[in-house]
Amino acid sequence: MKLIILDRDGVINFGSDQFIKSPDEWKPISGSLEAIARLTREGWRVVVATNQSGLARGLFEMATLNAIHSKMHKAVAQAGGRIEAVFYCPHAADMNCDCRKPKSGMFDEIAARYGSDLRGVPAIGDSLRDLQAAANVGASPWLVRTGKGERTLAAGGLPENTPVYADLGEAVERLLNPAA
Contact by Cβ (8 Å): 139, 121? yes
Distance CA 49, CA 164 (A): 19
Asked if 7 is an active-site residue, the reply is yes
List the catalytic residue out of 9, 126, 130, 167: 9
Alpha-carbon dihedral sign for residues 100, 104, 106, 109? negative
Residues 147 and 124 sit within 8 Å (Cβ to Cβ): no
Indicate which residue of 7, 126, 130, 167 is catalytic: 7
- Helices 128-136 and 105-114: crossing angle in degrees, nearest 10, is 50
- Residue 5 main-chain phi, psi, to 5 deg: -115, 130
Residues belonging to the chain: 180
Closest CA to 71 of 39, 40, 26: 26
Q: What is the DSSP string of 53-82?
A: TTTTTTSS-HHHHHHHHHHHHHHHHHTT--
Supply the residues annotated as catalytic.
7, 9
